[in-house]
């Protein structure tokens, strides 16, 4: 009975076993385990499939429905393509951690209760930190910052979950109204993983420090499980519309200013998740279908873009736009696959992004949200600008950097071609994806009006890009982000206090020293060799003081009687 094997177990156990596998067993495990997981995902029935008792609660470890299966499906496909791409990755820690990470993400999307969500949530934080750490010494400090932010998010989530269970008496994970402090804490915990502003800087800080294959898997799971839990827990929460729109433009602006190709793509993850968060905030069936399908297509085209960038990094060791350019000559497959990913992220007609993102805009239009719709349209133009053209242009064209790298190994090319086919296939034939969305799809993406509008929007963005190319020229700069607070301001404040406290400490020590010396001098003066209290007392003195005491006693007795 295969249905009783929980889908998350295969990848988590496989990840733990991976370091002990030798020879052909390792690539076999890397490729087969995700496919077995995909099969198991589709064996999960609707409703609770696996329960366990824990601390007096009955945990719903596996609970299936359409939304869970949709996310778990794309996670399993991603684990497969990520493994294929990373077959020649020699860092075992990264591969093992990536499997545990993917398995935990699948655990989150099948979790029927808040405690199970939390357990897999934290497993993901640990496993993903290990993926970053495994890239080597240069990634250590970014990995530490990454872990700190995610553990903080975990604390918020745990406090929220504890409060929610205390208030409602139920551990079930269901849609919640944003009406209590615990729920606000749960939402905040979810949003940190979604890369929502202001605690978003962990993403462009840590992901680009991972290895050429590490960032491909990192891009898929953390932010998209966050999209899943937001969709499950907080659909239709108005705050998410504004937050999502902010993320959309924040991602574009920072990506425009960025020089590092993988940081461009990192900011663009925030931008894309912003579209999904906005859709969740709108909360209608159309918008939620849009957010869910966009998460599905996004995982594929973003991984494709990062595989293309990873191939360039793997073959040249360079990631800055200022060092790259002209690579189309010797890396045509990597270049074409990168362009297909770039067209998909830009929602170009006949690519996967077109059939998913436009549903979110349609959701806004159906609700007559004019401002939201205009902003989403402007942002769609901006996506083509910051990722759709910028990434391929600066990496593969632009100028001749003199670099003549060969194409990457076959497995990396195969993974890219696989995902490029999916991007175009889903774009041309959206029906199979529409069939597995949480709500029935009434949306027709390919109408003349729609296609003409999107082509105008995108190609005129392209015109703006090439006309303003001088303004977009890259320089050897970074742009300060919120992480400046904990990377510069925090340490500066600490040093300031440190210097001040040193001075206070010195003053206190001096004062204490002076006081101690004063006491010592006093003791010496009275009790030292010449001190009055240290002299030998003559008998006469004693007689005198005894007389004084007796006289005093006499006077007192007269007064008393």
Partner 1 sequence: MDDHWLTRDTTVRRLWIAFVVILAVLVLLDVTRHEAHFTLEAIFGFGAWFGFLSCVALIVFAKALGVFLKRPDTYYDS
- Under the rule (CB under 8 A), what is the footprint of partner 1? 249, 252-253, 256-257, 259-260, 320, 326, 328-329, 365, 368, 370, 373-374, 377-378, 381-382, 385-386, 400, 402, 447-450, 452-465, 468, 471-472, 475-480, 487-488
Token couple for 322:
């200022």
Nearest approach in angstroms of CB 202 to partner 1 is: 14
164 or 260: CB nearest partner 1? 260
Kindly state the smallest distance separating residue 497's Cβ from partner 1, in Å: 21
Token duo for residue 412: 């990396």
Which residues lie closer than 8 Å to 510 by C-beta, 6 or more apart? none
- Comparing CA positions, the residue from 337, 423, 417, 345 lying closest to residue 387 is 345
Q: Please report, for residues 183, 227, 271, 296, 560, the alpha-carbon distance to residue 199 in angstroms, rounded to integers and kept in the order given.
A: 18, 16, 14, 24, 82
Q: How far is the CB of 376 from partner 1 (least distance, A)?
A: 11
Q: Which is nearer to partner 1, 162 or 365 (CB)?
A: 365
Q: Is 285 exposed, middle or buried (0-12, 13-18, 19+ CB in 10 A)?
A: middle
Pick between residue 459 and residue 519 the one whose CB is nearest to partner 1.
459
For partner 1, the closer CB: 167 or 468: 468
Q: How far is the CB of 364 from partner 1 (least distance, A)?
A: 9
Q: How far is the CB of 212 from partner 1 (least distance, A)?
A: 20
Q: For residues 375 and 247, what is the distance between their CA atoms, to the nearest angstrom?
A: 12
Judge contact between 413 and 407, C-beta under 8 A: yes
Question: 47-54 and 57-64 as β-strands: parallel, antiparallel, unpaired?
Answer: antiparallel
Instruction: State which residue, 240 or 379, has the beta carbon closest to partner 1.
Output: 379
Nearest distance in Å: CB 456, partner 1: 3
Which tokens hold the place of 234?
A: 């907080």
Shortest Cβ 81–partner 1 spacing (Å):
30
Q: Which residues of 110-127 are buried (b: 16+ CB within 10 A; e: fewer)?
A: bbbbbbbbbbbbbbbbbb
Question: Residue 212 or 267: which CB sits closer to partner 1?
Answer: 267
- Name which of 471 and 558 has its Cβ closer to partner 1: 471
Residue 460 vs 524, nearer CB to partner 1: 460
- Would you call the peptide bond into 162 cis, given omega within 30 degrees of 0 as the criterion? no
Structure tokens given for 243: 């937050």
484 φ, ψ to 5°? -55, -35
Cβ proximity of 299 and 249 under 8 Å: no
Q: Measured from the CB of residue 277, what is the shortest distance to partner 1 in angstroms?
A: 20
Residue 557: DSSP 8-state:
H
Looking at the Cβ atoms of 20 and 460, the one nearer to partner 1 is 460
Q: Which residues 6+ apart lie within 8 Å of 120 measured at CB? A: 8, 104, 105, 107, 108, 111
Side-chain half-sphere of 333: how many Cα atoms within 13 Å?
Answer: 18
Query: Residue 224 or residue 390: which is nearer to partner 1 going by CB?
Result: 390
Q: How far is the CB of 128 from partner 1 (least distance, A)?
A: 22
* Cβ at position 350, least distance to partner 1 in Å: 15
Residue 371 or 534: the one with the smaller Cβ distance to partner 1 is 371
CA distance 128 to 220: 11
- Residue ranges of alpha helices (H) inside 1-48 are 7-17, 25-41
The residue (of 48 and 256) whose beta carbon lies closer to partner 1 is 256
Question: Closest approach of Cβ 177 to partner 1, in Å?
Answer: 29
3-class secondary structure per residue, 379-448: HHHHHHHHHHHHHHHHHHCCCCCCCCCCCCCHHHHHHHHHHHHHHHHHHHCCHHHHHCCCCCCCCCCCCH
Taking phi over 0 as left and psi of -120 to 50 as alpha, with beta for the rest, 447 belongs to beta
Q: Of 141 and 170, which has the nearer Cβ to partner 1?
A: 141
Residues 283, 277: Cα–Cα separation, whole Å? 10
**Cβ of residue 346: shortest distance to partner 1, in angstroms?**
11
Q: How far is the CB of 165 from partner 1 (least distance, A)?
A: 41
């Amino acid at each position: 009975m295969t249905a009783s094997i929980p889908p998350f177990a295969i990848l988590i156990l496989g990840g733990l076993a991976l370091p002990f596998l030798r020879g052909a067993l390792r690539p076999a495990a890397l490729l087969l385990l995700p496919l077995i997981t995909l099969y198991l995902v589709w064996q999960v029935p609707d409703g609770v499939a696996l329960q366990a008792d824990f601390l007096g609660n009955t945990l719903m470890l596996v609970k299936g429905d359409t939304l869970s299966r949709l996310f778990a499906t794309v996670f399993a496909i991603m684990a497969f393509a990520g493994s294929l791409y990373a077959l020649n990755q020699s860092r075992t820690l990264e591969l093992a951690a990536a499997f545990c990470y993917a398995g935990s993400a699948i655990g989150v999307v099948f979790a029927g209760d808040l405690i199970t969500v939390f357990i897999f949530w934290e497993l993901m934080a640990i496993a993903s930190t290990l993926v970053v750490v495994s890239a080597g010494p240069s990634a250590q400090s970014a990995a530490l910052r990454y872990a700190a932010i995610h553990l903080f998010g975990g604390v918020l989530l745990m406090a929220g979950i504890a409060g929610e269970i205390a208030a409602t008496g139920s551990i079930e994970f269901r849609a919640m109204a944003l009406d209590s402090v615990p729920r606000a804490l749960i939402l905040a915990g979810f949003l940190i993983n979604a890369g929502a502003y202001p605690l978003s800087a962990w993403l462009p800080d840590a992901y680009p420090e991972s290895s050429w294959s590490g960032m491909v898997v990192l891009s898929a799971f953390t932010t998209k499980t966050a999209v899943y839990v937001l969709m499950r827990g907080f659909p239709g929460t108005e705050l998410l519309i504004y937050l999502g729109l902010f993320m959309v433009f924040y991602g574009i602006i920072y990506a425009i200013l960025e020089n590092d190709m993988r940081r461009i793509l990192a900011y663009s993850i925030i931008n894309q998740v912003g579209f999904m968060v906005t859709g969740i905030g709108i909360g209608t069936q159309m918008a939620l279908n849009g957010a869910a399908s966009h998460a599905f297509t996004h995982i594929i085209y973003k991984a494709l873009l990062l595989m293309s960038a990873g191939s360039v990094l793997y073959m040249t060791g360079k990631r800055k736009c200022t060092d790259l350019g002209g690579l189309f000559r010797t890396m045509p497959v990597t270049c074409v696959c990168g362009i297909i990913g770039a067209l998909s992220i830009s929602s170009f007609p006949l690519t996967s992004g077109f059939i998913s993102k436009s549903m979110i805009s349609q959701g806004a239009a159906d609700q007559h949200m004019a401002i939201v719709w205009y902003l989403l349209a402007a942002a769609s133009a901006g996506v083509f600008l910051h990722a759709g053209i910028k990434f391929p242009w600066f990496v593969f064209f632009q100028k001749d950097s003199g670099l003549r790298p060969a194409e990457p190994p076959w497995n990396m090319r195969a993974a890219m071609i696989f995902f490029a086919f999916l991007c175009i296939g889903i774009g041309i034939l959206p029906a199979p994806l529409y069939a597995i969305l949480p709500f029935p799809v009434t949306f027709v993406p390919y109408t003349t009006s729609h296609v003409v509008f999107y082509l105008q929007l995108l190609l005129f963005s392209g015109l703006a890009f090439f006309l303003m190319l001088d303004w977009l020229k890259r320089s050897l700069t970074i742009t300060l982000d919120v992480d400046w607070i904990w990377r510069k301001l925090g340490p500066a404040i600490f040093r300031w206090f440190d210097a001040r406290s040193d001075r206070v400490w010195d003053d206190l020590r001096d004062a204490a020293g002076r006081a101690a010396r004063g006491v010592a001098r006093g003791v010496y003066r009275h009790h030292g060799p010449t001190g009055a209290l240290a002299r030998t007392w003559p008998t006469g003195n004693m007689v005198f003081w005894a007389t004084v005491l007796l006289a005093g006693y006499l006077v007192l007795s007269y007064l008393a009687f």
